[in-house]
Chain A
């Protein structure tokens, strides 16, 4: 598919929220002697935030949204839609967006919907909420993007556990007929859907006693059929191919070059893979922020999280910036968006106060 424009949309503010508990990869017990140092050196991930048993992605997003609305001075009555993007909803039903709408005290005329999405979730979710508001009937919306991958990764899987962290975010979107169009290009390859999958627990393979049994795949790699299983080699190859190509395509379709863009925010997979992508695109390292070191791969939250914790050099609250955000992952799916961003009214990272 070719890309598409969405007019009349401004992002007003972004808040990210992470649990307070920190896990240090250097202390991960499954690693053999010297392995932690190697993994940290290649992935760039030193530590991650981990939600406790009582905290969900919905809680992290609620907390972020509550803070953001207050800081923007938005009347609750003025919020017309709320979208929650996650792979870890609070319940199978009802939708977590409905629960958060109630908790935030948003009006009953507020549209609420969940979108099941992983790593490219912020880019995909932004395209949906922006499309809804673009026509001008709805004026304000909240895009809540959160995930707690530690709840579906196995602690005894050394190829996965040290990479992922939990986070939530809220992005405030407003109708603005002076805004320059956002330009999206979003793509999918469902024929590779098994590359990242939780096989059991959905309607296809309901949970059985066997789903709960942990199986030792190799030394240091154990998981259950209700845990996420990733074909690391295939996903790596997918990322280094699709990440650069979609970004390049977006730049060409918008008649831009790398030099026209102030900041490239990439999905934070791991440093080794992300640096391959950056170098393939010949982007200077000072245009590519990272949040991997302290937060790891936070699934769909990596882009808003990186904007809140690693973008101080770009002065997003005071300057106009041309931003390209590119993400890739589960689906498999990938996408890129170019945003001519006016100064944000609010941008912050907060810790979860449960």
Chain B
């Protein structure tokens, strides 16, 4: 599994427009103005393709911060 720093880097790449604030483990990503359902799909598929790992849709929905999301990946 990648480090959280690397995960944040990959997470940021999924946005069309670079997020207006610096992303940190405690960032509440759903509150970012650039967050959208399409970015969510992109993050899901990044976890699947690039990390070759799993997260279920309900697990993803309960994560509020990037760190919570990272910890739910298995």
Contact = CB atoms under 8 A, between A and B. Distances in A.
Contact of B41 (A38, A231, A272, A280): A272
5 contacts: A232-B41, A233-B61, A234-B58, A236-B44, A241-B48
A139 to B, nearest CB: 46
Interface in B28-58: 36-38, 40-41, 44-45, 48-49, 56-58
B60 interface: yes
B45 A276 contact: yes
A234 B16 contact: no
A27 interface: no
A234 B36 CA distance: 16
A237 interface: yes
Interface in A25-42: 38-39, 42
Interface string A124-150: 000000000000000000000000000
B16 A233 contact: no
Nearest to B43: A233
A38 B38 contact: yes
A230 B5 CA distance: 33
Contact of B44 (A38, A39, A237, A280): A237
A38 B49 CA distance: 22
Nearest to B36: A38
Candidate in A237, A240, A276, A280 with the most chain B CB atoms within 10 angstroms: A237
Nearest to B44: A237
A211 interface: no
Interface of A: 38-39, 42, 159, 231-234, 236-237, 240-241, 272-273, 276, 280
Nearest to A233: B57
A3 to B, nearest CB: 25
Contact of A240 (B45, B58, B60): B45
Given A233-B60, A234-B56, A280-B49, 13 more contacts: A38-B38, A42-B38, A232-B37, A232-B41, A233-B41, A233-B57, A234-B58, A236-B41, A236-B44, A240-B48, A241-B48, A276-B45, A276-B49
A123 to B, nearest CB: 24
A240 B45 CA distance: 8
Interface of B: 16, 36-38, 40-41, 44-45, 48-49, 56-58, 60-61
A233 B38 contact: no
Given A38-B38, A42-B38, A233 B45 contact: no
A45 to B, nearest CB: 13
Contacts of A276: 45, 49
Contacts of B37: 159, 232-233
Contacts of A280: 49
A153 to B, nearest CB: 16
Given A38-B16, A276-B45, A237 B38 contact: no
A276 B36 CA distance: 19
B40 A233 contact: yes
Nearest to B48: A240
Contacts of B60: 233
A272 B40 CA distance: 13
Contacts of B38: 38-39, 42, 272
A218 to B, nearest CB: 10
B48 A234 contact: no
Contacts of A159: 37
B56 A237 contact: yes
A38 B15 CA distance: 12
Contacts of A273: 41
A272 B16 CA distance: 14
A172 B36 CA distance: 44
A233 B44 CA distance: 8
Contacts of A38: 16, 36, 38
Contact of A231 (B16, B44, B49, B57): B57
Contacts of A39: 38
Contacts of A240: 45, 48
